[in-house]
Amino acid sequence: MNFLTGTYECKVDAKGRLMMPAPLKKQMAAVLAEGFVLRRSVFQKCLELYPMAEWQVLMQKMNKLNRFKKKNNDFIRRFTAGVKMVEVDGNGRLLIPKDLTVFANISKDIVVASAVNIIEIWDKDLYEQAIDDAALDFADLAEEVMGQDDDEAYGIS
């Protein structure tokens, strides 16, 4: 799967279903049948939607953790808490389970945003606040994360 692109404002219906934006659905056409994993974000009050292949890559990394170390066990338990397997139905809708809806404060208006190889699902107000909060130090963050001299070899500048 290629990297995903796009940020879309959507609505969730009374049953907690999200109509996947057509451009994202088109980008994910090759992986729609495989299903997805929906989970709580580690750092934000949003949800992360992983195509199954991406989730399996992540689980392979997790499987290398030594489960006889308490912090590893605690991390795995917390990371996988509330994880749900979900599918996009024949009408292009994704059902967001109630417990995850509550976690992310999702009501009606949401934002579906690509995040390289996964999709974030946000309550619209929380998304706008997160973007506003990050804007204050984004230039410094961009320089720190992407401005390394060794990245020139990879065409990043």
Residue 78 included in any domain: yes
In which element (H, E) is residue 107 found? none
Residue 81 included in any domain: yes
| Alpha-carbon gap, residue 157 to 143, rounded angstroms | 10
Note if the pTM is more than 0.95: no
Tens of pLDDT along 79-129?
A: 999 999 999 998 999 999 999 999 999 989 999 999 989 999 999 999 999
**153 pLDDT more than 70:** no
* Tally of domains within the chain: 1
Phi, psi of 125 (to 5 degrees): -65, -40
Residue 15 included in any domain: yes
Residue 134 included in any domain: no
Higher pLDDT, 103 or 153: 103
DSSP 64-106: TS-TTSHHHHHHHHHHTTT-EEE-B-TTSEEEPPHHHHHHTT-
| Alpha-carbon gap, residue 105 to 125, rounded angstroms | 10
pLDDT of residue 34: 92
* Dihedral-angle region of residue 35 (phi above 0 means left; psi in -120 to 50 means alpha; beta otherwise): left
Tens of pLDDT along 13-61?
A: 999 999 999 898 888 888 888 999 999 999 999 999 999 999 999 999 9
Residue 83 included in any domain: yes
Residue 153 included in any domain: no
Report the CATH number at residue 114: 3.40.1550.20
- Domain containing 55: what range? 7-124
SS3 for 19-46 is ECCHHHHHHCHHHHHHCEEEEECCCCCC
